[in-house]
Amino acid sequence: MENQIKYRIIKSLSQYNEYCNIHESLMLKDENKHIDEIELLELLIEDFDQRQEKEKNEKLNPVELLRSLLSESIIS
Q: Which pLDDT value is given to residue 25? A: 95
| Distances 16 to 2, 9, 54 between C-alpha atoms, Å | 26, 9, 16
Residue bearing the bigger pLDDT, 12 or 59: 12
The per-residue pLDDT for range 11-42, each reduced to its tens digit, is 999 999 999 999 999 999 988 899 999 999 99
Q: What is the mean pLDDT of the chain?
A: 88
Q: Which pLDDT value is given to residue 2? A: 64
